[in-house]
Structure 1
Amino acid sequence: MKIVFDFGGVLFRWHPPSFLARVWPHRVPDETVGAEVAQTFFQSYTGDWGAFDQGLADAATTADRITARTGWPRAEIVTVMDAVPQELQLIEGTAALIQDLKAQGHTLHFLSNMPEPYADHLETHHPLGEWFESGIFSGHVKQSKPHTPIFELAAQQFGAKPQELVFLDDHPANIEAATALGWQAVLFTTPEAAREALQARGLLAAA
Structure 2
Amino acid sequence: MKKHVVFDFGGVVFQWRPKELLKRTLPHRAVDEAAAQQLVADFFQNYEGDWGRFDRGTIEVPELAPLIAERLGFELGEVQAVIDAVPGELEAQKETVELLHRLHENGHRLYFLSNMPEPYAVHLESTHEFFSRFTDGVFSSRVKLIKPEPEIFELATKRFGIEPSQTVFIDDVAKNVEIARAHGWHAIQFITAAQVEADLEAIG
Which interval holds the TM-score relative to the shorter structure? over 0.9
Aligned to 1:155, which of 154, 157, 166? 157
Aligned to 2:5, which of 3, 6, 28? 3
Contact 1:16 1:34 in 2 (8 A): no
SS at match of 2:188: strand
Which deviates more, 20-29 or 166-175?
Answer: 20-29
2:112 is equivalent to residue 110 of structure 1: yes
Aligned to 1:136, which of 135, 138, 142? 138
Aligned counterpart, 1:54 = 56
- Residue 193 of structure 1: how far off its partner (Å): 1.1
Aligned to 2:88, which of 66, 86, 89? 86
- Residue 65 of structure 1: how far off its partner (Å): 1.1
Residues 152-178 of structure 1 show CA distances to partners (whole Å, capped at 9, x for unaligned) of: 000011101222210000001111111
The separation in 2 between residues aligned to 1:105 and 1:162, in whole angstroms, is 18
Count, aligned residues:
202
- Residue 35 of structure 1: how far off its partner (Å): 2.0
Aligned counterpart, 2:196 = 194
Q: Aligned ranges for residues 112-127 of structure 1 at < 5 Å?
A: 112-127=114-129
Contact 1:178 1:185 in 2 (8 A): yes
The separation in 2 between residues aligned to 1:30 and 1:7, in whole angstroms, is 28
- Residue 32 of structure 1: how far off its partner (Å): 3.8
Q: TM-score scaled by structure 1?
A: 0.94
SS at match of 2:145: coil
| RMSD of equivalent CA atoms | 1.1
The amino acid across from 1:37 in the alignment is L
- Residue 128 of structure 1: how far off its partner (Å): 4.7
Q: TM-score scaled by structure 2?
A: 0.96
The separation in 1 between residues aligned to 2:35 and 2:98, in whole angstroms, is 33
Aligned counterpart, 1:178 = 180
Aligned counterpart, 1:36 = 38
- Residue 31 of structure 1: how far off its partner (Å): 4.1
Which deviates more, 161-170 or 151-160?
Answer: 161-170
The amino acid across from 2:7 in the alignment is F
SS at match of 1:12: coil
Aligned counterpart, 1:96 = 98
The separation in 2 between residues aligned to 1:35 and 1:163, in whole angstroms, is 38
TM-aligned CA distance change 1:72 to 1:165, over 3 Å: same
The amino acid across from 1:77 in the alignment is V
The separation in 2 between residues aligned to 1:117 and 1:103, in whole angstroms, is 30
TM-aligned CA distance change 1:27 to 1:99, over 3 Å: same
The separation in 2 between residues aligned to 1:89 and 1:9, in whole angstroms, is 10
- Residue 135 of structure 1: how far off its partner (Å): 0.2
Aligned counterpart, 1:16 = 18
- Residue 64 of structure 1: how far off its partner (Å): 1.3
SS at match of 2:138: strand
Residues 51-110 of structure 1 show CA distances to partners (whole Å, capped at 9, x for unaligned) of: 000100001111111112111111100000000000000100000000110111100000
